[in-house]
A = this chain, B = another copy of it.
């Protein structure tokens, strides 16, 4: 495709995307395709000769859009927000258009140094102390794996340069909340620690936050048995209920035992932009690493995940390679992001953060986050006030966890736990099947609840009010 052909096709697609974003509110929120529908509609033989853009756009309209859950819908309340702000979309377009290749500083100085600039901007905007050094990863899953690898190597005095984990005499142990995101145990297993060396620490029954005394007891037991506490993962904003583990107390325990502290704030990290929310993040500056995702609530389009570390030298020692064909005369005086993570090749991801922050501005982003917090408090208040509805957990940010408990309909008696589970799953499926909104059922301490995760960029109070009507009507019909 020539630049002139690109110009014509690009204008057409920009209009198609603008039109799409305008009609998102009218689309079913949850994809209603059946398994295999999309594959059957599109899986012809590989194209030998060029198709027209018109053919592709027709397939987008006919198959792709109806085959997607509409994450950008104002009535999307599932999982967590995954906003793709249009300013950041323009930054990502610029990245693809430039076709830069980040493998070393030399291959793309601007790619490297703009990543330094935007990660420093976000450090300042989130109130993190100087001394944190950030890089952009694809997801918090990868960032957490990098943190676990750094922790493994620090604990084992760089066993990777000797016989690996197998050469080590004492098992290394990692600790986390049982409410931690699934990427945490995955990272622990992939890093080679093994399931037997992953400890789920007890939590507070009211806040679902990690209990530091249980952590201390677990570490002490392991040490007594000849095992070495290598790392603890602090979850700030758990996936289930947005619980916040107590960072200062956990850091204090971890220091007693020499363990790495990784803070997983993948979703909640955006709240650090709000000074009034920073109390939830007290103590994070004393951790060893912290990861959070601008591609969630903040709204920089996927995939934009930040991992900050304090000890860059250690990280580089764990992750570095230095083959001759990547060497240059400036190596000692520049940042080489290839040595901060797993991939060598790097997209110019800094551009999407740069476009997002510059075109929208931090003030407007903070105002939007505050709107969402207020909407969550509104929903929490009406749930609290309504008979037969209950809040399952404290509402610290923008996620409201609820259950509908239909006491009256069963003769005034509380339904048993299994019946309540069945009722919860029934009404949430009925709600999602309407296509008018989408929320997530989840197990919490063994029982089903419904998570209403507010924070899509387009969601206004009126959308939350409509959701609440829909929740009440579907829950009462399902009774």
Contacts and interface: CB of A to CB of B under 8 A. Distances in A.
A18 B3 contact: yes
A160 B195 contact: yes
A478 interface: no
Given A42-B113, A64-B98, A67-B108, 18 more contacts: A3-B19, A6-B89, A10-B14, A13-B93, A13-B97, A53-B359, A55-B358, A63-B110, A67-B113, A69-B100, A71-B100, A72-B98, A79-B101, A88-B96, A152-B192, A160-B189, A165-B166, A239-B325
Interface string A78-108: 1100111111111011101111110101111
A23 to B, nearest CB: 9
Contact of A165 (B22, B96, B165): B165
Given A31-B110, A191-B192, A342-B142, A124 B45 contact: yes
A94 B60 contact: yes
A221 interface: no
Interface in A39-56: 39, 42-43, 45-51, 53, 55-56
B442 A359 contact: no
Interface residues of A, number: 161
Interface string A145-168: 100010010000001111111111
A139 B440 CA distance: 32
B196 A167 contact: yes
A82 B101 contact: yes
A54 to B, nearest CB: 11
A15 interface: yes
A93 B94 contact: no
A186 B122 contact: no
B35 A190 contact: no
A189 to B, nearest CB: 4
A303 B345 contact: yes
Contacts of A117: 39, 42-43
Given A68-B108, A363-B48, A82 B167 contact: no
A40 to B, nearest CB: 9
Instruction: Give 3 nearest A-B pairs by CB, closest first.
Output: A164-B194, A67-B110, A84-B99
Contacts of A345: 82, 138-139, 141, 293, 295, 302-303
A93 B11 CA distance: 11
Contacts of A302: 99, 101, 345-347
A47 B84 contact: no
Nearest to A194: B164
A117 B38 CA distance: 9
Contacts of A7: 14-15, 18
B138 A343 contact: yes
A340 interface: no
Contacts of A448: 324
Given A6-B89, A22-B3, A71-B100, A165 B186 contact: no
Contact of A120 (B43, B51, B186, B333): B43
Given A94-B60, A301-B99, A1 B87 contact: yes
Nearest to A345: B139
Contacts of A363: 48-49
A454 interface: no
B358 A51 contact: yes
A275 interface: no
Nearest to A170: B166
Given A94-B17, A117-B39, A166 B163 contact: no
The CB with the most chain B CB atoms within 10 A, among A42, A110, A149, A172, is that of: A110
A141 B343 contact: yes
A69 B108 contact: yes
Nearest to A169: B166
A9 interface: yes
Nearest to A103: B79
B142 A165 contact: no
B183 A164 contact: no
Contact of A9 (B53, B90, B171): B90
A4 interface: yes
